[in-house]
Amino acid sequence: MLAYILRRIALMVPTIFGIMLITFVIVQFAPGGPVERVLAQLQGQSEGSLSRVTGGAGDLGGGGRSAGGGSEANSRYRGAQGLDPAFIKKLEQQFGFDKPAPERFAKMLWDYATFDFGKSYFRDVSVLQLIRERLPVSISLGLWMTLLSYAISIPLGIRKAVRDGSRFDLWTSTVVIIGYAIPSFLFGIALIILFAGGSFLQVFPIRGLTSEGWESFTLWGKIVDYAWHMTLPLTALVLGAFATSTLLTKNSFLDEIRKQYVLTARMKGLTERRVLYGHVFRNAMLIVVAGFPGAFISAFFAGSLLIETIFSLDGLGLLSFTSIVGRDYPIVFATLYIFSLMGLAVNLLSDLIYTWIDPRIDFSARAT
């Protein structure tokens, strides 16, 4: 098993390299980079405003206009006509675009290997600090959503499998399908209207993870305040998240219940509970565990983007989206690197959970 774990960790290196390389190449051909964004902001502004946007006219060649224009540097950027070529060169140096693409990519990989993500292009703060500030929101949403959805879906799926075709199975299936069909952000909007001062009650807050002065609260007060802020966004996420795992659990248990070994166990006089949780559970849960990494990563990063926006929660999903739109490449690549690394680690953890649930599975015996 140790050899398998080391082999999987070694395979993470070329996987991360491929992900970063493909993304880097795509970014090189994407229109509207950071230089173009600054130039677009400078259109129609005075030279004084120009220095404020770029961080100082003195550092960027005085921000003067070029009398000649038409240089090769200017022709590469939309909106650069008429600007001093020296100013464009200084702007490229500020964003690191004065170096060839292979050199920039190699430097980025070397820095990322030591988790040095540099500074944001437009926020004048380190990328690592931005990620640390927003990590509690993503951890709160992703972790609690995954735990709650599995805590609901697994018992419900088992119950539906045991009572397959009953009235309970039919009406719970209706509820699950409706919850799956309605997007989580619509649940979020409805919850705000009903319980956050939209049109009816004003019971829950809709901004942030905690209230002002949270640090001065007692331990119990901190827990209650945190739960108070998380109730609505988590409810919106969970309502649309447990449907797939519920039906997956039910179908998996139904497949196992109909197998010969279950009939044999019943003929031996074992109780239904012993058959269900002593024999069926271990085999049926394998396929459910297989979906855990995807569910966790989706909830942790991408799945909560709209919920973060609706409830004014500044998490990693919202940070990544705004950075892509704003062409803040250090944040884009840093979050991609972290997301990919965590995704690969969670997939490895999933395989280890396989062996814990069913010791008959031996990944170390697989060929390289």
Q: What is the largest CA-CA distance in the chain?
A: 96
User: Is 6 in the same domain as 80?
Assistant: yes
**Cα–Cα distance, 177 to 171 (Å, whole number):** 10
Residue 119 lies in a domain: no
User: Is 59 in the same domain as 152?
Assistant: no
Model confidence pTM above 0.75: no
Asked if pLDDT for residue 65 goes beyond 50, the answer is no
What is the pLDDT, as a whole number, of residue 18? 92
Reported as a single tens digit per residue, the pLDDT across 218-247 is: 889 888 988 898 888 888 888 877 787 888
User: Is 250 in the same domain as 143?
Assistant: yes
Q: Between 75 and 211, where is the model more confident? A: 211
User: Is 233 in the same domain as 326?
Assistant: yes
> Which candidate, 156, 155, 153, 134, places its Cα nearest to that of 145?
153
46: containing domain: 2-95
**Cα–Cα distance, 64 to 50 (Å, whole number):** 9
Main-chain dihedrals φ then ψ at residue 196, nearest 5 degrees: -125, 35
User: Is 91 in the same domain as 193?
Assistant: no
What is the pLDDT, as a whole number, of residue 14? 92
Q: Between 126 and 318, where is the model more confident? A: 126
Reported as a single tens digit per residue, the pLDDT across 179-229 is: 888 888 888 888 888 888 766 778 888 777 888 888 888 889 888 988 898
User: Is 41 in the same domain as 189?
Assistant: no
User: Is 89 in the same domain as 136?
Assistant: no
**Cα–Cα distance, 203 to 180 (Å, whole number):** 26
User: Is 356 in the same domain as 212?
Assistant: yes
Residue 144 lies in a domain: yes
161 burial (CB, 10 Å; 0-12 / 13-18 / 19+) is buried
**Cα–Cα distance, 158 to 282 (Å, whole number):** 12
DSSP assigned state of 254 = H
What is the pLDDT, as a whole number, of residue 17? 92
| Geometric angle at alpha carbon 138, from 134 and 139, rounded to 5° | 110
Which percentage of the chain shows pLDDT scores above 90?
Answer: 4
Which percentage of the chain shows pLDDT scores above 70?
Answer: 79
327 burial (CB, 10 Å; 0-12 / 13-18 / 19+) is buried
Read off the tokens for 102. 């292979």
pLDDT-derived band at 47, boundaries 50, 70, 90: very low
Least confident of 24-28, 40-44, 282-286, 306-310: 40-44
Q: Which amino acid makes up residue 281?
A: F
User: Is 351 in the same domain as 304?
Assistant: yes
